[in-house]
Amino acid sequence: MDGLRAKHLRKIVGDNEKLTSKSKIDLARLPPCYYALKPHLPRLNHRVALYKRADESILEKIKTYDDRKGWIRTEDGVLGRV
């Protein structure tokens, strides 16, 4: 990935030219380097997995009286806060 970025930068700047602060190069046109791209890959993988399962229905009965959810059921059957 970084090799492609360097190759594209040489193509824009020129083979024998140096990149300086006075060069009128739009660096946003370059592909991202590996370390900038790496955090986006798990997010992309997660989004693709969601789209693949978009047609499946998720039926889950939530227990509101579960202690981990912050509710408890009293002896009278009334829900109350922990």
pLDDT in tens, 1-12: 678 887 878 777
Give the pLDDT confidence of 21-30 residue by residue, as tens digits: 777 777 787 8
On whether the pTM is more than 0.75, the answer is no
Give the pLDDT confidence of 34-72 residue by residue, as tens digits: 888 888 889 999 999 989 988 888 767 666 666 666 677
Q: What are phi and psi of 17, to 5 degrees?
A: -95, 155
Contact between 72 and 82 (Cβ < 8 Å): yes
Closest listed residue to residue 13, CA positions, set 3, 24, 29? 24
Whole-angstrom distance, CA of residue 19 vs CA of residue 9: 9
Domain boundaries, the chain: 2-81
Q: Which two tokens stand for residue 14?
A: 């020129």
